[in-house]
């Protein structure tokens, strides 16, 4: 039986509060607690709680034949504990069924794989420890890098950390004539298996589902199953990867997205030769058809499927470089609050808000940003970073003073 692999990214950043220049050196509290709590509560009610309840219902109804996997960022786990413990409990119930796989990732949903292998290792280790603490000793076997960012080199780093597989985008400029509906291997370390997102069918659910102007609107389970039945019989796996907030937040309940998911497993079982599998199961059951060569990093963002959503202009590059110039100094710090803020400042969303794309994907960037403009996002971030640097300097000077 061929497999459908459902993967959901679950992430919320810690958003910065408006931080003015004159606050540098005076105010060391950077995070907008009110905004972070209110957004977390809103998304919990619209997406996390109802969708988790639905998935548990489907797992029980289909006696474990329906399976999914999640990647839960460290920042979302921290916010669940602080603002919505019932959401964390609902994820714990799902994982306890044994039919839900958890993936590993960087703790802060960071871009560190592009800049620092040592910080990447530290971030992954922190995330693994957090998962183990919250999910009864669970140890992920498969990795998902931030926003599916991947290259041959990143894959080698992932393998060296002990993972069996990695998820990434089935980008057209990488695949060429190849299909994403196979299992592949890393080009440097063939023992690492690579699962590629089928972006067309994934985006039909994630982006086009509730769009009345879409030529295939409305999307029904019967229509969707008819599409997957057109996949050639020798193609082993259909990877449907998307933000979990697709359900109820990006696609409101009124679009019928919950009912679509409620009836999809039954339609798949009744009218196709597909079943459902987790990434670890796919890796254990399917042989790679060959290596996939990804010499430069790809992602699942925007039309280009590259890094320009986060590192595509001078604002982003300056903020990114200035941040990682601090790595060695932060690692010498003994202050737990500095380490917490260092983690949260690395979250990719801060750089996403600075994106200056105004054409093909500009509306998407504006939708997710709490700022009026990318320039406002940059100035706010750099003000915070200036204060953070000042705190590092003060700690270093105090340490020197103690030695004198």
Instruction: Assign residue 124 the CATH number of its domain.
Output: 3.20.110.20
C-alpha torsion angle, residues 183, 185, 186, 189 (rounded to 10): 150
202 and 275 co-located in one domain: yes
286 and 319 co-located in one domain: no
Checking if the pLDDT of 194 tops 60, the result is yes
Residue 298 lies in a domain: no
Checking if the pLDDT of 359 tops 70, the result is no
Q: Which of 235, 262, 292 is the last residue of a domain?
A: 292
Residue 309 lies in a domain: no
Checking if the pLDDT of 184 tops 80, the result is yes
Checking if the pLDDT of 360 tops 60, the result is no
Checking if the pLDDT of 266 tops 70, the result is yes
pLDDT band at 400 (very low <50, low <70, confident <90, very high): confident
Residue 69 lies in a domain: yes
265 and 140 co-located in one domain: yes
Checking if the pLDDT of 227 tops 90, the result is yes
Name the residue among 101, 94, 95, 82 with its Cα closest to residue 41: 82
pLDDT band at 369 (very low <50, low <70, confident <90, very high): confident
Number of domains the chain is built from? 2
pLDDT at 366: 57
13 and 61 co-located in one domain: yes
**Tokens linked to 268:** 């798949």
Residue 265 lies in a domain: yes
Residue 308 lies in a domain: no
Checking if the pLDDT of 236 tops 60, the result is yes
Checking if the pLDDT of 403 tops 70, the result is no
Q: Look at 20-24, 28-32, 399-403 and tell me which has the smallest mean pLDDT.
A: 399-403
81 and 51 co-located in one domain: yes
pLDDT tens, residue by residue, 50-103 = 999 999 999 999 999 999 999 999 999 999 999 999 999 999 999 999 999 999
Checking if the pLDDT of 107 tops 70, the result is yes
Helix/strand/coil percentages in the chain, nearest 5: 50, 15, 35
Q: Across all residues in the chain, what is the average pLDDT?
A: 96
Burial 102-117 (b: 16+ CB within 10 A, else e): bbbbbbbbbbbbbbbe
pTM for this structure? 0.95
Active site residue 147: yes
The parent domain of residue 373 ranges over 314-403
Q: Look at 1-5, 135-139, 329-333, 355-359 and tell me which has the smallest mean pLDDT.
A: 355-359
Q: Which of 262, 292, 322 is the last residue of a domain?
A: 292
Asked whether the CA dihedral 101, 107, 109, 114 is positive or negative, the reply is negative
Q: Which of 101, 105, 119, 147 is catalytic?
A: 147
221 and 339 co-located in one domain: no
242 and 337 co-located in one domain: no
pLDDT at 210: 94
Mean pLDDT of 304-325: 96
pLDDT at 362: 43
* Residue that is written with structure tokens 């259909």 in the block: 238
Decide if 57 contacts 15 (C-beta within 8 A): no
Which helix (H) or strand (E) segment holds residue 241: the answer is strand 237-243
381 and 232 co-located in one domain: no
Checking if the pLDDT of 258 tops 90, the result is yes
Alpha helices by DSSP H, listed for 167-220, are 172-175, 199-206
pLDDT at 340: 98
Checking if the pLDDT of 225 tops 50, the result is yes
Name the residue among 146, 73, 76 with its Cα closest to residue 114: 146
Checking if the pLDDT of 358 tops 80, the result is no
Residue 305 lies in a domain: no
pLDDT at 361: 47
Share of the chain above pLDDT 90, in %: 94
pLDDT at 252: 97
Residue 373 lies in a domain: yes
373 and 236 co-located in one domain: no
Pairwise CA distance, residues 3 & 235, whole Å: 10
357 and 247 co-located in one domain: no
Decide if 195 contacts 279 (C-beta within 8 A): yes
Residue 299 lies in a domain: no
150 and 215 co-located in one domain: yes
183 and 133 co-located in one domain: yes
Checking if the pLDDT of 148 tops 80, the result is yes
């Amino acid at each position: 039986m061929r497999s459908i692999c459902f993967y959901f990214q679950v992430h919320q950043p810690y958003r910065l509060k408006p931080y003015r220049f004159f606050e540098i050196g005076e105010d060391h509290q950077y995070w907008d607690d009110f905004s972070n709590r209110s957004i977390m509560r809103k998304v919990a009610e619209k997406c996390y709680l109802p969708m988790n309840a639905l998935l548990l219902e489907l797992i029980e109804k289909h006696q474990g034949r329906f399976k999914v996997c999640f990647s839960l960022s460290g920042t979302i786990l921290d916010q669940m504990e602080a603002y919505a413990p019932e959401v964390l409990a609902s994820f714990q119930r799902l994982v306890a069924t044994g039919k839900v796989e958890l993936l590993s990732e960087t703790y802060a949903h960071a871009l560190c794989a592009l800049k620092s292998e040592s910080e990447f290792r530290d971030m992954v280790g922190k995330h693994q420890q957090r998962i183990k603490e919250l999910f009864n000793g669970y140890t992920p076997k498969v990795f998902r890098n931030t926003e599916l960012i991947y290259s041959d080199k990143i894959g080698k780093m992932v393998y060296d950390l002990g993972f069996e597989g990695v998820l990434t985008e089935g980008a057209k400029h990488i695949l060429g004539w190849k299909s994403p509906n196979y299992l592949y291997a890393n080009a440097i370390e063939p023992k690492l298996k690579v699962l590629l997102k089928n972006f067309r069918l994934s985006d039909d659910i994630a982006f086009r589902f509730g769009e009345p102007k879409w030529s295939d609107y409305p999307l029904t389970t019967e229509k969707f199953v008819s599409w997957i039945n057109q996949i050639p019989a020798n193609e082993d796996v259909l990877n449907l990867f998307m933000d979990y907030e697709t359900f109820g937040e990006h696609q409101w309940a009124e679009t019928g997205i919950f009912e679509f998911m409620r009836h999809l497993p039954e339609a798949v079982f009744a009218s196709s030769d597909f079943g459902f599998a987790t990434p670890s199961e796919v890796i254990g059951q399917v042989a790679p058809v060959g290596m996939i060569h990804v010499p430069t990093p790809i992602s699942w963002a925007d039309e280009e499927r590259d890094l320009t959503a986060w590192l595509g202009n001078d604002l982003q590059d300056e903020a990114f470089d200035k941040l990682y110039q601090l790595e060695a100094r932060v690692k010498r710090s003994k202050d737990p609050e500095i380490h917490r803020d260092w983690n949260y400042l690395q979250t990719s969303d801060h750089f996403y808000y600075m994106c200056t794309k105004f054409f093909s994907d500009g509306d998407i960037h504006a939708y997710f940003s709490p700022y009026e403009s990318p320039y406002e996002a940059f100035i706010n971030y750099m003000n915070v970073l200036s204060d953070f640097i000042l705190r590092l300097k003060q700690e270093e000077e105090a340490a020197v003073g103690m030695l004198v």
